[in-house]
Chains A and B, each alone.
Chain A
Amino acid sequence: MDGDINATAPGTTPPDTDPARKRRVHGMLKLYYGLNEEGKTVDQAESMDPCDINGPHFDPEVYLNKLRRECSLGELMDQETCMVKQIRSLDSDMQTLVYENYNKFISATDTIRKMKNDFKKMEDEMDCLSTNMASITDFSARISGTLQDQHAQITKLSGVHTLLRKLQFLFELPARLNKCLELQAYAQAVSSHRRARCVLQQYSHMPSFRGIQDDCHAIMDKLAQELRQKFRDGGSSAKDLSECVELLLQLDEPAEELCDKFLSHAQSRLEADLLGLEAELRPPLSYGPTAVTDPYTGPAHRLSVEPTAGSPTGPSSLNNPFLSPSSRTDILEFIDRGCNEFVSSLCLVIASYQELFVNRPQEGELASKNIPQMAIGKLHAFVDALATRYFSLVERRIQEEKSVGDNSLLVRALDRFHRRLQAVAKLLPGSAVPSQGTEIVVRAARERIKQYLAALQSFYLNSLTDVRQALAAPRLGGSSAGVGSHLGGPATGKEAPASLPELLSTLSASILNQIKSVLASVHLFTAKDITFSNKPYFKGDFCSHGVRESLVVNFIKFVCQSSRQFCESAGDRGGSTPPALLLLLSRLCLDYETSTITYILTLTDEQFLVQHHSPVTAVTALCGEAREAAQKLLNHYVKVQGLIISQMLRKSVETRDWVNTIEPRNVRAVMKRVVEDTTSIDVQVGLLYEEGVRKAHSSDSSKRTFSVYSSSRQQTRYAPSYTPSAPMDTNLLSNIHKLFSERVEIFSPVEFNKVSVLTGIIKISLKTFLECVRLRTFGRYGLQQIQVDCHYLQMYLWRFVSDENLVHFLLDEIVGSTAHRCLDPAPMEQSVIEVICERG
């Protein structure tokens, strides 16, 4: 009995043509024949089931029982049909396979039979070949036997020939050497001699050979002498020289001595270069070749590849120092010359020296002497000594570079200087020269920054002088024009300081431009194509500490500081600074505080990509400083202007005999001047500062009739203060008054606006007026005059201040004090005062 698992799922039977099914059939066949390696895992899982028809433990009895137990009759029938079908297909598959195998087996039998025939033929041919080979061997043996004698003879003959040639060479050697000497073919002579040397040494006991050896020695000594002579002579070219050295070394000259000689020879040439450079440093005596043959000979390290290429023209042109008496060369030319002459020669020397002494292949006897170490040591000392001299010259030249006009020249010169030194670094690794060179560049950069700072500072001071002159010039014309139109308001002041905002903007713009151009100049130091710009100093310290701190921050500080100095020096010694300048500078500093400093520093940071390693001055600190300076300047301005007006008032009070004065008919001219000046100050300040806040005006102040002390009501207020009946009321009244008014700070700091500035000035002036009045004694008309004056001031001054009550209070105090100081206090009628004041 046979079956299949597919039978349990009847609907899934695939069609016969399906290749998958075919493969499965093959698989099953394999299983059947025990070739079940590919289905191992499946087997393992199913192996224990005796009902698995494909498994190895299949028990037909159990399977049949199971089927019979589990399936109905119909199912059994179906199962049977299915199984029969499968058995049938399996049988047909098997038949096909058997047939195929049979065919293959038949063809294999045919092939084997054919091969058997072929092998037989081959065997015959091999036998034939072996007999032939035997006969050939036989013949060959016979021939070699015959030729043996002749061969030995030939060998002997050729040996004799060689020996004879050698002997001939030896005998001819002295003559040949002499000839070489004559022809100056030193190299050939040395190589010839070297070849013969050992032999001669070996056979020196034979007289004839000794003779040759002695001759040779004599000649070689002469040759060495000649070589040394040539070596000693300065004129020979580097190539010749190196050849000389090479030959001498081969002649067992001591290497150390050669090194020294070589270097001293080179030194003399390099020193000539240095002298040439030095000559240029002395302006009046400087004669030097201006035309340096080729300004830029490409990367210098090329010299190390072909050390003998293009010997520098320096020495030869130096021999002719009067070629062209040049004017002073600029630094680029100087450095160029230094590079092309000195540095190139130095590189050349280093290269050839290394070629000769350091890098030469070590031959037996030379190797033991440790020449390279010794040679390198000497070379370092030599290069260091010369480089130090060169650097000192370069530094001297750089120090002479004082003008800050064109930085690019210096930067280019430094770049070239630095770039050329890189060649030395490549040739001579471990030398201190390049780092020293970098230090020079760094120092030069630092120095440059200092110079720029100084230049900026002097520029700033010059600009201030210009501003001063500009302020002075129109003032002469303006003051005369302004007189007489004291009520003209803006029209008055316009004449004189009209250009104040312009001056400010020009000043600030020119400073900013200057800073920018300086920054641009300094920026050259960090340009990408400059070789030293990627040194750590130029990346970090130069940007942050050098440019930002030393240059920009210091300059801003300088501006603030010099502004502060204006306050101090001018304060004591009579105010040499024009007030307008103070005002202008104060505005400048304020602008700096609000925007300019931030702008400049941001600009710097951006341009130089400053990374702050060390702590730097904060923008806020600088702004604070600027603000402080601005405040101080403005305070000082207020003080100076206040003092000018105070002075007028003081003189006017002090010089008059107030007891015997006449009845007032006019406002005193001084008061008009005061109002006039205040107006022009108002205009001046208004040009630079905003209006500022006022306390709300009372409605009647605009009518100019309001006056605390002059209204009839108020007149009774102070009248009792000098009536004999109530002396105590004086104190009481004024004290009560003071209780309710704030203490007036006279020289107090002002705010950055026009009203505050004017308030400050007026406060100072009126307080002076008050103090002066208290020092005088007045007659009746004196009091009345003061009344008139104060009313006049009252009419015009309230508009300038933030709090008109302040003016009222101070003027009130003045009139009150005058009344106290009056011998005959009889105040004037308010209406009369008004009439006089209206009249002007």
Chain B
Amino acid sequence: MEDDAPVIYGLEFQARALTSQTAESDAIRFLVGTQSLKFDNQIHIIDFDDENNIISKSVLLHQAGEIWHISASPADKAVLSTCYNKSEASTLPFHVTRHLSRVVTCGAVWRMPPEWESGSHESPDDPHNSHNPQNLELLCHLDNSAHGNTSSVLWEPMGDGTRVISLADNHALLWDLTESSTQATISSSATLEGKGQLKFTSGKWSPHHNCTQLATANDTAIRGWDLRTMSQIYCIENAHGQLVRDLDFNPNKQYYLASCGDDCKVKFWDVRNINEPVKNLEEHSHWVWSVRYNHSHDQLVLTGSSDSRVILSNMVSISSEPFGHLVDDDDLSDGEDNHQYDKSKEPLQDSIISTYEEHEDSVYAVEWSSADPWLFASLSYDGRLVINRVPRALKYHILL
């Protein structure tokens, strides 16, 4: 199937940070942040033309440092936040500063310059067209040196783009952005306390309960927080055998949560019963770095792993539409998939839809498009961005 062939885009730099442009509902657009210690880092805005299967990109400079995390404002297309490494040594001769140099991860909110869209559209075939990439406009820092390194910045889901949470070491900080996001003030904060050096590795703001809940991961535990009181609601100790790498909330079922980690597993939790996961997936052969629910059809779960694979699973049994559609055998004869569907199984059967092996290096981020629910992107460390679609047969199944 020609249309299902993946579209591959290569960045010049190594990259870990990927997000879709959340506020954009028409164009299929992804933002990628690069990691380079030597050069100015960039944010690539990848536009995908679904009709013609063409990728176009724009590049914005992110001179503050290498990007570890990126997220887009749900309200304003042009606003985004990054977590970046600021290395104080990088600008000075090494021998002078070697005893002073320090790498700090900071968070900041940026605005894309208004002209990027009109002016600098270019095709990827012509990479050196961007002689003068424009800089991002800094709106505000989400910094507080007292709170340590910022590992990620989370926007309030479906909010008006005025509230963000940043996770810094063992603190979760709730910021209010005022004056068109140029001013950031901490409205409240929560601190993780316990033995040793605790550090949040990742977090997710729940879109349910009026956006009053947050889930965070530190080491092997998953914790839920109530943002009104900034207190812990639940704690899944030893959620994974090893480090928990990522979390995602089911967009339709308020108590359901997916997590992934270094034990190569993806687990699905009902936070009302934290003793046992609802479901376990063990398909990857190395650490799973990213897990994402499809925004519209929560049976579709995407995972990316450092075994260089992206796996699309169909978790029908725990989705919000468990009785959705009858599987018709003819429609499932999709030859491209490495994992065949279970043709004889009932529709309730969970299954791997497809394993994508276009990446050569570890995949650290996967993301669904916010505009087209049947499209997703994955980013591997070597800078390769792959855009894939849900197999058409399955799409029609879910729709019809």
A residues neighboring B (CB under 8 Å): 571-574, 643, 659-660, 722, 724, 727-728, 730-731, 734-735, 738, 743, 745-748, 767, 771, 774, 777, 779-781, 820-824
Contact = CB atoms under 8 A, between A and B. Distances in A.
Contacts of B308: 743
B101 A823 contact: yes
B307 A659 contact: no
17 contacts: A571-B241, A574-B238, A659-B102, A727-B12, A731-B12, A731-B383, A735-B382, A738-B361, A743-B357, A746-B306, A747-B264, A747-B286, A771-B287, A777-B103, A779-B98, A823-B37, A824-B89
A731 B10 contact: yes
B360 A738 contact: yes
Contacts of A734: 360-361, 382
Contacts of A722: 38
Given A571-B263, A747-B286, A823 B382 contact: no
B307 A746 contact: yes
Given A573-B238, A777-B37, A747 B285 contact: yes
Contacts, number: 87
A572 B103 CA distance: 34
B87 interface: yes
B382 A780 contact: no
Nearest to A647: B242
Interface string B101-126: 11100000000000000000000000
Contacts of A824: 89, 94
Using C-beta atoms within 8 Å of the partner chain, give the interface range for chain B.
Answer: 35 or more
Interface in B303-346: 306-308
Given A659-B103, A746-B286, A747-B264, A821 B37 contact: yes
Contacts of B14: 730, 820
B37 A822 contact: yes
A824 B39 CA distance: 13
Contacts of B175: none
Contacts of B101: 659-660, 779, 823
A526 to B, nearest CB: 44
Contacts of B25: none
Contacts of B44: none
Interface of B: 10, 12-14, 36-39, 85, 87, 89-90, 94, 98-103, 238, 240-242, 263-264, 285-287, 306-308, 357, 360-362, 381-383
Given A643-B242, A659-B102, A743-B308, A823 B10 contact: no
Contact of B94 (A738, A747, A774, A779): A779
B131 to A, nearest CB: 15
Contacts of B242: 643
Given A728-B12, A730-B14, 14 more contacts: A573-B238, A573-B241, A659-B101, A659-B102, A660-B99, A746-B286, A771-B306, A777-B87, A779-B98, A780-B94, A820-B14, A820-B37, A823-B90, A824-B89
Contacts of B36: 727
Nearest to B99: A660
A735 B11 CA distance: 13
Contacts of B94: 779-780, 823-824
Nearest to B197: A655
Nearest to A738: B360
A366 B382 CA distance: 112
Contact of A767 (B240, B286, B360): B286
Contacts of A660: 98-102
A777 B286 contact: no
A547 B42 CA distance: 72
A572 B240 CA distance: 6
A748 B285 contact: yes
Among A659, A724, A728, A735, the one with the most B-chain Cβ atoms within 10 Å of its Cβ is A659
A578 to B, nearest CB: 16
A758 B98 CA distance: 39
Nearest to B90: A823
A573 B38 CA distance: 42
A781 B101 CA distance: 13
Nearest to A734: B382
Contacts of B38: 722, 724, 727
A589 B37 CA distance: 52
B380 to A, nearest CB: 11
B31 to A, nearest CB: 20
Contacts of A745: 285, 307
A269 to B, nearest CB: 62
